[in-house]
Chain A
Amino acid sequence: MLTNFIQYVIKQMNRNIRNLYIILGIAISISLLVSTSILYVGMKAEVENQVRENYGEKDVMIGYKNLVGYNDVVEAKLSEDDIEYIKNHPYVKQLSTVFFPLFNESRNGILFIGIAPNDSFAKTEFKIPQYDINENEVILSKDLLDRFKENNGKIKITFPSGEEGVWTVKEVLEGKSTVLFNIKDLQKTLKAPNKVNLMLIDLKENADKQQFIKDIKSNIDPRLIIDPIKEKDKFRSNLGGLRNIGIVFGVFILLISTYFVQSILQMSFKEKIQQMAILRSIGTSKKQLVFLVITEALILSLIGSVMGSGLGILIAKFGKNIVVGQLQTTILETPIPWNIITLIIIISILSVLVAGLVPAFKVANIPPIQVFSNTLNQEYTPKRRRTYTSLFFLTIGILLTTISIIFSEKLSGLSFIGSLILLLGVIVGLYLFVKPILIGVKYILGSINRIEVKLAINNLISQKVHTANAAIVIVLGLAIGFSLQNLLGAIEKGEYNRIENQFGTRLMVQAYAPMMSTLPLSLSSELKAIPGVNHVSALGKIISVKTDKNEELLVSPADFQSLMNMGLLSKHVNTSKPAIILSKEMATKFNYKIGEVIKLTGRSDQVEIKENTSFIITDIMDFVPSTLHSKLAIIDWKYLKLKGDSTYPRGFFIATTEKNTSEIEQLVYRVISKYPEAELLNQEIVIKDIKNQILRMYSIFYTAILSIFVVGFLGMYNSIHSNIISRKREYGILRATISTPTNLLNIIIIESLLIGLFSTIIGGVLGLTLTKGLSTFLDIDFIINWNVLITTIVIILIASIGVSLIPAFKLKRLKVVDFFNR
Chain B
Amino acid sequence: MDNLLEVKNLNKEYGRGTSKVKALQDISLTVPKGQFVSIMGPSGSGKTTFLQLVGGLDSPSSGEIIFNGVNLQYLNKEPEISVFRRKHIGFVFQFFNLIPSLTAQDNIALPLVIEGTSKTYINERVKFMLEIVGLKNQVLKYPHQMSGGQQQRVAIARALVRKPFILLADEPTGNLDTKTTLEIMELLKTTQKELEQTIILVTHNPIVSSYADRVIYFKDGRIIEDELLSNNKSKREISVEISEKLTDISGGTVYAN
Contact = CB atoms under 8 A, between A and B. Distances in A.
Contact of A288 (B94, B99, B114, B122): B114
Contacts of B93: 372, 374
B109 A285 contact: no
Interface in B107-129: 109-111, 113-116, 119, 122-123, 126
Interface stretch (B21-29, B78-86, B210-218, B220-228): B78-86
B57 A283 contact: no
Given A372-B91, A374-B94, A1 B101 contact: no
Contact of B99 (A7, A12, A14, A369): A12
B100 A822 contact: yes
Given A14-B101, A374-B93, A283 B106 contact: no
B101 to A, nearest CB: 4
A282 B158 contact: yes
Contact of A282 (B52, B101, B111): B111
B97 interface: yes
Nearest to B106: A2
A11 to B, nearest CB: 6
Interface string A1-18: 111110110011111100
Contacts of B122: 1-3
A628 interface: no
B61 to A, nearest CB: 14
B123 A369 contact: no
Given A3-B122, A369-B58, A283 B82 contact: yes
Nearest to A278: B97
B102 A11 contact: yes
A275 interface: yes
Contacts of B111: 282-283
A281 interface: yes
Contact of B110 (A2, A16, A369): A2
A284 interface: yes
A282 B95 CA distance: 15
Contacts of B82: 283, 285, 368
Given A12-B102, A821-B144, A282 B86 contact: yes
B187 interface: no
B98 interface: yes
A368 B116 CA distance: 22
Given A282-B158, A822-B95, A3 B123 contact: yes
B201 to A, nearest CB: 15
Contacts of A283: 82-83, 85-87, 111, 114-115
A1 B123 contact: yes
Nearest to B109: A2
B35 interface: no
B187 to A, nearest CB: 19
A282 B110 contact: yes
A323 B126 CA distance: 60
Nearest to B48: A373
Interface string B56-73: 011000000000000000
Given A11-B101, A12-B101, A282-B114, A3 B119 contact: yes
Contacts of B143: 822
A16 B101 contact: yes
Given A283-B86, A821-B144, A822-B95, A2 B113 contact: yes
A602 B142 CA distance: 98
B243 interface: no
A181 B117 CA distance: 90
B75 to A, nearest CB: 13
Interface residues of B, number: 38
Interface string A286-315: 101000000000000000000000000000
B123 A15 contact: no
Contacts of B102: 2, 8, 11-12
B106 A11 contact: yes
Nearest to B89: A283
Contacts of A284: 114
Nearest to B52: A369
Interface residues of A, number: 32
A16 B100 CA distance: 9
B110 A8 contact: yes
Contacts of A12: 99, 101-102
A383 to B, nearest CB: 21
Interface in A693-749: none
Contacts of B115: 283
B150 to A, nearest CB: 13
A129 to B, nearest CB: 67
Contact of B113 (A5, A275, A821): A5
A82 B101 CA distance: 81
A372 B52 contact: yes
B105 interface: yes
Contacts of B144: 821
A483 B45 CA distance: 61
A365 to B, nearest CB: 10
A5 B106 CA distance: 11
Contacts of A278: 97-99
A275 B99 contact: yes
A372 B57 contact: yes
Contacts of A367: 58
Contacts of A279: 99, 110, 114
Contacts of B113: 2-5, 7-8
Nearest to A281: B91
A820 B142 CA distance: 17
A14 B126 CA distance: 22
Nearest to A283: B86
B157 to A, nearest CB: 12
B114 A5 contact: yes
A369 B49 CA distance: 10
Contacts of A275: 99-101
B99 A3 contact: no
A374 B109 contact: no
A321 to B, nearest CB: 42
Nearest to B126: A1
A13 B191 CA distance: 33
A466 B101 CA distance: 25
B44 to A, nearest CB: 15
Contacts of B142: 15
Nearest to B86: A283
Contacts of B170: 374
Nearest to B158: A282
B217 to A, nearest CB: 23
Interface string A318-331: 00000000000000
A134 B119 CA distance: 86
A22 B77 CA distance: 37
Contacts of B158: 282
Interface in A1-56: 1-5, 7-8, 11-16
Contacts of B91: 281, 372
A278 B158 CA distance: 11
Nearest to A368: B57
A540 B139 CA distance: 97
Given A2-B109, A374-B93, A374-B95, A369 B114 contact: no
Q: List 8 tightest A-B contacts by C-beta distance, closest first.
A: A283-B86, A2-B106, A15-B101, A12-B101, A3-B119, A2-B109, A369-B57, A282-B111
Given A14-B101, A821-B144, 20 more contacts: A1-B109, A3-B123, A4-B113, A4-B119, A5-B116, A7-B113, A8-B110, A11-B101, A11-B102, A11-B106, A282-B114, A283-B83, A283-B114, A285-B79, A285-B82, A285-B114, A286-B79, A372-B91, A374-B94, A822-B143
13 contacts: A1-B106, A2-B122, A3-B122, A5-B114, A13-B101, A15-B142, A274-B97, A275-B101, A282-B86, A282-B110, A368-B58, A369-B52, A822-B100
Interface of B: 52, 55, 57-58, 79, 82-83, 85-87, 91, 93-95, 97-102, 105-106, 109-111, 113-116, 119, 122-123, 126, 142-144, 158, 170
